[in-house]
Amino acid sequence: MSARTKFFLTGLATVIGGCCLQLYVTLSKDVLFNGIQFCSSSSSDLVLGTMALFASAIFSGFIASLIVVRDNFWPHLFISLGIIAKFLLVALCGLWSGPFWFEVGLHCSLLAGLWLGWYGAAKFPLAPV
């Protein structure tokens, strides 16, 4: 594979993985659970909503990994930097919906799910070589 093709696939996987992550997080957080907020959501909504966010990140990491070859982790690194930048923006502007540890947990679950999706796609028997 040429360097140009690898660069193109990395960019494409980053854009598609980031868009999938945003779409699935919005669907699970705002549509299925009507906005997960620490103070106003029930305990079951918090648990199920957080698990849905984690599953969304796993699925997005899996999709981004299937676009590029197995050994290419750059899209996941760029998406992870985007998640960290979003968290820093939320932290600096004070726009979180609960305590600081709750927001840290949500963003850490997104990061862990994204990389778990990468790992799952790397171990998936039909992944491109």
pLDDT tens digits, one per residue of 77-128: 999 999 999 999 988 998 887 888 988 999 999 999 999 999 988 887 665 5
DSSP reduced 3-state for 6: helix
Q: What is the pTM of this model?
A: 0.91
HSE of 87, CA atoms in CB hemisphere, 13 A: 18
Q: How far is CA 79 from the centre of its chain?
A: 7
**Residue pLDDT, tens place only, 17-52:** 999 999 999 999 889 988 888 888 889 999 999 999
Residue 69 pLDDT level (bands cut at 50, 70, 90) = confident
